Amino acid sequence: MSDLQDRLRGIAVGATVGDALGMPLEFHPPRPDDFRITEMVDGPLPAGNFTDDTEMALCLAESLLFDSPLNTRDLSARFTGWYQSRPSDVGIHTALVLDKIASGIDFTKAAHQVQAQEPDASGNGGVMRAWPLAIARHANPGLLTAESRIQCEITHTHPDSINGTLLFNYILYHILQTLDTPPELAIRQAIVLSTDQIILDPDFLLTVNLSALRMPKDLKNSGWVRHTIESALWAVQTTRSFEEALVRAVNLGNDADTSGCLTGAIAGAMYGYHSIPERWRHAVHGEYPIRSGKLWFEADFVRLADQLAALSAG
C-alpha cells in the first residue's frame, strides 16, 4: 500500500471513527481530564454506531460514484431520500431545508428560503459530510473547490458555512501534497496555504490562526461552523497522534460527533489509516441506507476510499 493510499483511507475511516466516538458525548458538557471517554460506549445509539454526519457523507460519496463530476440534482435527491427515511438525528437547519425540498420546492431555492428566515445561521452541516470530496478530488483542486461549495449550498448558504467547508477540504488537500513532511509541520503549512485561498471574515480568520493557542475551557464546540473548525484544528495542532487528537476533540462535548468527524478526517490524513487504533476501527459500524438492512463496517469504508480515490485518477 502506498503512503498516499494509507492517508486517503485514513480520511474515510478516521472521519467515521471520530463520528462514532463522539456520538455518546453529543449535547453533553465537556468532560474533565480524569473522566475522559477513550473507548466506544453506548449513547443515543449503540457503541461504535456512526451518526447523521457519516450518513450524509455516504450520500455524497455514492452520488459521486454514480455520476462524476458531481450531479447536484442527484445529490439533493439522495439527501432528501435519506431525510425521509427518518434518521435518528438530523440538524435543525438541514431538516428545514430538506422538508422544503420534499414538499416540492426546487433544491436551488429551498436553502436560500431557510437562510432568509435565519440570516445569521451558519451551521456545520455542510462541512461534516464533505470529506468524500477530499478523497475523490485529491489530485484535482479545481473540482474540489467547485464541488465542495455546491454540495454545501444544497442545505447551507451562509458564507461561513461555505468557507468552512472549503477550508476543511483545502486543509486535507494540502496535507496530502506533503507526505514526506512531519505531521506537526504539515498541518501548519496546510492551514497557511488554505487560508491564503479563501477570503475569510477577519474574525473567522483570527479564530483559525489562534486555534492552537486556545485553552479547552474556551472552546464552545457548538454546531456553529467556526466552533467546529476551531475545535478540530486545536485538537490536531496540540497533540502528536491520531488517538490523542481524537480523544481531546470529542471530550469537548456539545457537538462532539461533528468535531470528532472533522478531527478524525484531518488526523487520518496526517497520520494515515494504520495510525487509527484497531479497537476503534473494529468497533465502528452503522446501517446505510437507513432501514435497508445493509450494515457498514471498517472494510466497507476502506473500499469506499479506494473507489473515491480512483475518481481522481480518472
* CATH assignment of the domain containing 52: 1.10.4080.10
Spell out the residues 6+ positions from residue 259 whose beta carbon is closer than 8 angstroms to its own. 18, 22, 221, 228, 231, 232, 235, 249, 250, 252
**Would you give per-residue pLDDT tens digits along the chain (314 residues)?**
689 999 999 999 999 999 999 999 999 999 999 999 999 999 999 999 999 999 999 999 999 999 999 999 999 999 999 999 999 999 999 999 999 999 999 999 999 999 999 999 999 999 999 999 999 999 999 999 999 999 999 999 999 999 999 999 999 999 999 999 999 999 999 999 999 999 999 999 999 999 999 999 999 999 999 999 999 999 999 999 999 999 999 999 999 999 999 999 999 999 999 999 999 999 999 999 999 999 999 999 999 999 999 998 76
Predicted local confidence at residue 255, as pLDDT: 98
Q: What gap in Å lies between CA 292 and CA 196, rounded to an integer?
A: 43
Q: Which domain holds residue 301?
A: 3-313
Residue with cell 438530523: 90
Q: Which three cell numbers stand for residue 24?
A: 455518546
Dump strand ranges (E) for the chain: 286-287, 295-296
Residues 6+ apart with CB under 8 A from 26: 43, 44, 51, 89, 253, 254, 255, 256, 257
DSSP character string of the chain? --HHHHHHHHHHHHHHHHHHHHGGGTTSPPPPGGG---S---SSS-TTB--HHHHHHHHHHHHHHHSTTT-HHHHHHHHHHHHHT--S---HHHHHHHHHHHTT--HHHHHHHHHHHSTT--BSTTTTT-HHHHHHTTT-HHHHHHHHHHHHHTT--SHHHHHHHHHHHHHHHHHHT-TTS-HHHHHHHHHHHHHHHS---HHHHHHHHTGGG--GGG----SBHHHHHHHHHHHHHS-SSHHHHHHHHHTT-SSHHHHHHHHHHHHHHHH-GGGS-HHHHHH-BEESSTTS--EE-HHHHHHHHHHHHHHHH-
> How many Å apart are CA 218 and CA 211, to the nearest integer?
10
Number of domains, the chain = 1
Question: Greatest CA span in the chain, whole angstroms?
Answer: 51
Which pLDDT score, from 0 to 100, does residue 2 have? 84
**8 A C-beta contact, residue 86 and residue 160:** no
